[in-house]
Amino acid sequence: MKEIIIQLETLTCPSCIKRIEKGIKGLKDIDQVVVLFNSSRVKVKTLINYDSNLIVNKINNLGYQVLNVKEN
């Protein structure tokens, strides 16, 4: 399993959480998505070696800015 942690610009409302989670869950081979409102982080777990650029592009297309990506 691969974990990707994405630091976003500051999230301003709780509806951002649902929008980001729904957008990322719509991508193929995503196992789990957790958006942490207080820290503006997104934790994504995949079952395969997933290209994090696909997730970053999705977040950008939703209108949010990615500041940093860490992969484990």
Q: What is the CATH number assigned to the segment(s) 2-71?
A: 3.30.70.100
Asked if the model's pLDDT at residue 42 lies above 90, the reply is: yes
Residue 48 DSSP SS3: coil
Asked if the model's pLDDT at residue 7 lies above 90, the reply is: yes
Percent of the chain's residues with pLDDT above 90: 88
Q: What is the pTM of this model?
A: 0.91
Q: Helix 14-25 crosses helix 52-61 at what angle (to 10 degrees)?
A: 130
φ, ψ for residue 55, nearest 5 deg: -70, -45
Domains of the chain by residue range: 2-71
pLDDT, tens only, 12-27: 888 999 999 999 999 9
Q: What is the mean pLDDT of residues 30-57?
A: 94
Mean pLDDT score of the chain: 94
